[in-house]
Amino acid sequence: MRRILVSAAVVALGIASLQTASAADISAPVYKAPPAAVGYNWTGFYLGIEGGYGWGRSGHRDGGAGAVDFDLSGGLVGITGGYNWQAPGSQWVVGIEGDWSWTDINGSAPSSATFACAGTCNTDIRGNATLRGRVGWAFDRILPYVTAGVAWSRLHASIGTPVLAEATTTRASFTGGAGVEVGITPNVSAKLEWLYVDGPGRFTYAPAFCAAPGCATVKNDYSMVRAGLNWRFGGM
């Protein structure tokens, strides 16, 4: 009986030793951290659409004492395109952007008593295009930026109802502003921006019947607020 008990004890100790050795051979589970999140990448070309509202001031002068000043306002819609570059590992984003908008920013006012030509003075900004640089600081998907460059304004001026005299011209001037763009998906972003267009300068529509040297429009400065949606050929 004693031999049986001793043999059983030896067998039990052997089994326990084998289990301990097997457990020691099993390595502890290795925890793998999830991959680091990749930040939103603003680098790449993009095309988009935009629309909004514009407002400003216009002034008509007749070359003498006559002067008429009035407000301008109206809507706009257009297309845009550009390129952004974000330095690897940096929040700085620089780029260039161009756009063209059909605009109907207009206004009118009766000519003053001192104006050489009688009738209603009218100004209509019929189109706008810009070419601008952009500099922004990216908070991942949110990109506030400032922008500046050149604007081309398609201007129309007239006097009289029906029209007695009119002229249309395209003038270049400075534009600048600021905005914010938000990445919705890796390839789609939305923006909201404000641009100021400095007075595109004086141009003369000079009706022959003016007693003064010529009638002209001046002070066609205006601002635009535009919302846009861009399709980006790049991104994360």
**Cis peptide preceding 110, ω within 30 of 0:** no
> Residue 79's beta-bridge partner residues?
49, 100
pTM listed for this prediction: 0.80
Is pLDDT larger for residue 212 or for residue 115? 115
Would you call 71 helix, strand, or coil by DSSP?
strand
Give the mean model confidence (pLDDT) for residues 76-103: 96
pLDDT at 33 over 70: no
d(CA 231, CA 227): 14
Q: Which fold has domain 44-61+74-199+218-234?
A: Porin (2.40.160)
Residues 6 or more apart whose CB falls under 8 angstroms from that of 219 comprise 57, 58, 59, 69, 199
Q: Tens digits of per-residue pLDDT, 206-235?
A: 766 666 666 777 778 999 999 999 999 965
DSSP string, 178-224: EEEEEEEETTEEEEEEEEEE-----EE---TT-SSS--EEEEEEEEE
**8 A C-beta contact, residue 131 and residue 92:** no
Domain residue ranges in the chain: 44-61+74-199+218-234
